[in-house]
Amino acid sequence: MDSEPRELVESIERNGANGSLVSALEDIQAQYRYLPRDAMILVSERLGVPLSQVYSVATFYHAFSLVPRGKQTISVCAGTACHVRGAVQILNRLESTLGVGAGGTTRDRRFTLETVNCLGCCALGPVLVLDDENEGQMTTTKVDKWLKRAMRQVEPVLRPSCAVRRP
Ligand code: FES
């Protein structure tokens, strides 16, 4: 990693003063959309917390990711009602169009595709969610149009990865 963003260090030091490992990791996750390994090492050093503890917290909470995530998350409901109404076909279509499987992130870092359990709106199944926006009664035809629209709204991530230089 090439350079250490000042904001990241300031954030770690600020949170370190408060002794909050979770807050430091939240800041890094918000900035990079994942927790780069070098950033976790830096947090460990700056907060004086064993690296194993940093990893323990980072892997405990679902909100943290150890791999790069997309700018936006597409969640396909894999609950029973959506499953019987064709969620698998919707997921397959998204996987083939985006070129990633469930749990993966597109190469341009625009989207992370994942499956989720019942979203509580089964009557609208199959349902998918783009960040907080639900789309119901999906069909493979409808999902193609929906995805084209989503792609127009989300710019690719130009910076390919976190750039953190350890001191
Ligand atoms: S099973 Fe998909 S919303 Fe309930």
Centre of ligand 1 to C-alpha 127, Å, is: 7
**3-state class (DSSP) for residue 164:** coil
- pTM for this one? 0.75
Q: How far apart are CA 89 and CA 118, in angstroms?
A: 17
In the chain, what is the greatest distance between 2 CA atoms, to the nearest angstrom? 54
Provide the pLDDT confidence category of residue 19 given band limits of 50, 70 and 90. low
Higher pLDDT, 4 or 107: 107
Residues belonging to the chain: 167
pLDDT at 158 over 80: no
pLDDT at 160 over 50: no
Is the CATH number of domain 72-153 3.40.50.1100?
no
Q: How far apart are CA 105 and CA 118, in angstroms?
A: 22
Protein residue closest via CA to atom 3 of ligand 1? 122
pLDDT at 91 over 90: yes
What is the position in ligand 1's atom list of the atom closest to the CA of 118? Answer: 4
Q: How far apart are CA 52 and CA 35, in angstroms?
A: 14
> Residue ranges of the domains in the chain?
6-60, 72-153
